[in-house]
Amino acid sequence: LLEQAGIRPTAPRLAILTGLSGRRAAVTAQELHHELRGGTRPAGLATVYRTLRALADAGVVDVFQRGAEEAFRLCGAGHHHHLVCEGCGTVEEVDAAEIEQWVARTARHRRFRVTSHHAEINGLCADCSPVKG
Amino acid sequence: LLEQAGIRPTAPRLAILTGLSGRRAAVTAQELHHELRGGTRPAGLATVYRTLRALADAGVVDVFQRGAEEAFRLCGAGHHHHLVCEGCGTVEEVDAAEIEQWVARTARHRRFRVTSHHAEINGLCADCSPVKG
DNA sequence: GTTGTTGCAAAGAATTTGCAACATA
DNA sequence: TATGTTGCAAATTCTTTGCAACAAC
């Protein structure tokens, strides 16, 4: 996974990738750094920042804006959008096909040349929603 | 416009609002501050930050994430989405109706309780696109 | 007169960068 | 061994806050 992204697999990087995997919510560089701090394979804060950025550039992780800071999360290949739970932070991916039609149509009407688009739904996931009746 | 947002109309605030009006691209607090600096009614940087935040809270301006900093722009009422030109920075508003159907449908499938959603298209506007043929 | 606002400068917070020691191919 | 990587600490950048002077109602 690292090699295919052209990123040399070192101990700190593997630790970061491990910290990222199996996680449903996005994490901040700072958070990840703190987590790894206690473990057997710590990684310096700068390294965490550098690695996450590299992974983002390689398309291995998605980047989310969480207030003033950015959070990262391993993501599937291909274009997708997100449902972000404000309760537990979990992120679910959604296929982008339908949105893409809207994007294409809207762009055509405005003679706009699209380079990228982005859609996000915020709210509460099934687990975090108050149960009703 | 300020009064209806519960914001007391002072000279600096009017200057900020004037600086904002008639502008097609979003501006940063820093940029606006620099612009007003030279004019007849300057506004302190902190005041620009405070006022823009107040206007955003009041729904008078939209907030855009431009790299690490945020940019602001007067916006229409009601829910809408954006086409952001990467060439000149111009922002066009698009009605949100179609996206809302997708949001509602997607949320229903996932049993997700929506509190907000966001969609943005990036690319080049008609004026910035290289002319073809 | 009371309460909200301003501007400055200091504080805060997230992220980036310089650089010498170190690990990888 | 040549090149990429690490970690630390310092530097940068955007934004917020404390506070005394000031303006609006």
The 10s digit of each residue's pLDDT in B82-105 is 999 999 999 999 999 999 999 999
Among residues A16, A105, A23, the alpha carbon closest in space to that of A52 is found at A16
Beta pairing, strands B91-95 & A69-74: unpaired
Question: Beta strands of chain A (E only): which ranges?
Answer: 27-28, 61-66, 69-74, 80-85, 91-95, 113-124
The CA–C1' separation of A72 and D14, in angstroms, is: 21
- From residues 53-92 of A, which are strand C contacts by CB within 7 A? 53, 68-70
Rounded distance between C-alpha atoms, residue A115 and residue A112, angstroms: 9
Residues with Cβ < 8 Å from B3, sequence gap 6 or more?
B9
Q: Show residues of chain B in contact with A120, CB under 8 Å.
A: 117-119
Token digits of residue A75: 């993501």
CA B106 → CA A19, A51, A115, B18, B64, distances in Å?
Answer: 30, 33, 24, 41, 25
Mean pLDDT for the stretch of residues B45-60: 96
Kindly list the residues from chain B whose CB atom is less than 8 angstroms away from the CB atom of residue A102. Answer: 98-99, 102
The residue assigned the tokens 């300057």 is B42
Distance CA A127, CA B109 (A): 14
Angle between helices A45-57 and A29-38 (to 10 degrees): 130
Please judge whether B115 and A125 are an interchain contact, meaning their C-beta atoms are less than 8 angstroms apart. Answer: no
Measured between alpha carbons, how far is A91 from A18 in angstroms, rounded to an integer?
Answer: 18
pLDDT score for A123: 97
A-B C-beta contacts closer than 8 Å: 99
Q: Is the CB of B47 under 7 A from strand C?
A: yes
Q: Do B121 and A117 touch (CB under 8 A)?
A: yes
Which tops the pLDDT comparison, B130 or B121?
Answer: B121
Written as tens digits, the pLDDT of chain A (133 aa) is 777 778 899 999 999 999 999 999 999 999 999 999 989 999 999 999 999 999 999 999 999 999 899 999 999 999 999 999 999 999 999 999 999 999 999 999 999 999 999 999 999 999 998 876 4
* pTM beyond 0.75, yes or no: yes
CB-strand contact A47/D, under 7 Å: yes
**What are the phi and psi torsion angles at B103 (to 5°)?**
-60, -50
| Residue B30 CB in 7 A reach of strand D | yes
Contacts of A107 in chain B (CB under 8 A): 83, 121, 123
Residues 113-132 of A with CB under 7 A from strand C: none
